[in-house]
């Protein structure tokens, strides 16, 4: 049998480890190089609403500093896998159990390989949304992200879906989308100014799903507390198209379908602090 040689290079910043191999490293091969990717607490998952456990004790997430740094500078990079924005440590999220997390970075997952392909990582009752936003945080009791990413209670991700609202441009995204041209090629960096992260999230931040999972890219570490918002951001079809078609990957091909397929739930329980969400689309 012919041996398979994998030539792996990576660029890591925040939680996004971008794996590149000669010929590409397919998802099915991840566990060979990163054993955690074959674990039983992997993300993303399908959020099956009839299996979600209602937990009224899950209070609203407390977000601080998300709207206060409008004059700040936010480095943004095309890391070959997605577009990633570095966030200031003044941005914090407090979970229902009182754990405080420090924001590290935010990035996006999208489809776009054809006009019908959506690209969220999590699905709801089997339905994949157009885009998914991830804001990666680390536990404030640790000195840095690099330390926190190695421990069992180290990370938390606030996730939100994006849906298309025809002909209704979301002006809160204009600054971000206009700068995508500056990071077309892998490794390019630009700086966003006057960014209001809170405005780039759904209007309703009260209702969410919660479960224990992993990073969705290698090394797939199983130390992530996920908070997936029930409400969604609305972008116009034109804005979605620009995000889906502005960046090139390591092979100078348009970066499409940068999402991982859903993983088995196994014995985990998904909780939510709502029974039904009235604004959710059928």
Report all structural domains of the chain as residue ranges with CATH numbers, in order of start.
9-272 (3.10.200.10)
Single pTM value for the model: 0.89
Whether 170 shows a pLDDT value over 70: the answer reads yes
Q: Which residues in 22-60 are b (16+ Cβ under 10 Å) and which e?
A: eeebeeeebeeebebbebebbbbbbbeeeebeeeeebee
- Predicted confidence at residue 68, as pLDDT, reads 62
**Is 256 one of the catalytic residues?**
no
Whether 202 shows a pLDDT value over 60: the answer reads yes
Min mean pLDDT across 2-6, 44-48, 137-141, 219-223 is at: 2-6
Sign, CA torsion 14/82/46/237: positive
Whether 210 shows a pLDDT value over 60: the answer reads yes
Angle at 39 between CA 36 and CA 45, to 5 degrees: 110
Q: Which of 40, 81, 256, 267 is catalytic?
A: 81
- Predicted confidence at residue 70, as pLDDT, reads 64
Angle at 253 between CA 249 and CA 254, to 5 degrees: 85
Q: Show the tokens assigned to 32.
A: 């060979």
Mean pLDDT of 176-199: 95
Torsion of CA 271, 40, 50, 134, to 10 degrees: 60
Q: Yes or no: say if 66 and 198 are a contact pair by the CB < 8 Å rule.
A: yes
Q: Show the tokens assigned to 245.
A: 């078609």
Those residues with Cβ within 8 angstroms of residue 230's Cβ, 6 or more apart along the chain or in another chain? 204, 207, 208, 209, 272, 274, 277, 280
Torsion of CA 68, 73, 78, 79, to 10 degrees: -80
- Predicted confidence at residue 33, as pLDDT, reads 94
pLDDT category of residue 216 using cuts at 50, 70 and 90: very high
């Amino acid at each position: 049998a012919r041996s398979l040689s994998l030539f792996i290079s990576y660029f890591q910043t925040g939680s996004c480890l971008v794996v590149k191999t000669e010929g590409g490293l397919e998802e099915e091969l991840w566990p060979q190089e990163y054993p955690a990717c074959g674990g039983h607490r992997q993300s993303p998952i399908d959020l099956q609403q009839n299996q979600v456990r209602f937990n009224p004790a899950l209070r609203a997430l407390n977000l601080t500093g998300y709207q206060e740094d409008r004059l700040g500078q936010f480095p943004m990079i095309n890391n070959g896998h997605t577009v990633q924005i570095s966030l200031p440590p003044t941005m914090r999220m407090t979970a229902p159990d009182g754990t405080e997390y420090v924001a590290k970075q935010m990035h996006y997952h999208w489809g776009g390989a054809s006009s019908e392909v959506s690209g969220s990582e999590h699905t709801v009752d089997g339905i994949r949304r157009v885009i998914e936003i991830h804001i990666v945080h680390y536990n404030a009791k640790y000195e840095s992200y690099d330390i926190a990413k190695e421990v069992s209670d180290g990370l938390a991700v606030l996730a939100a879906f994006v849906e298309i609202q025809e002909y209704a441009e979301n002006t809160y995204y204009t600054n971000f989308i206009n700068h995508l041209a500056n990071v077309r090629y892998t490794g390019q960096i630009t700086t966003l100014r006057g960014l209001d992260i809170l405005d780039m999230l759904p209007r309703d931040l009260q209702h969410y799903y919660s479960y224990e999972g992993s990073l969705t890219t290698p090394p797939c570490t199983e130390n992530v507390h996920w908070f997936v918002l029930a409400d969604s951001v609305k972008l116009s079809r034109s804005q979605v198209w620009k995000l889906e078609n502005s960046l090139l990957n390591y092979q100078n091909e348009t970066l499409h379908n940068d999402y991982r397929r859903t993983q088995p739930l196994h014995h985990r329980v998904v909780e939510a602090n709502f029974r039904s969400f009235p604004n959710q689309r059928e």
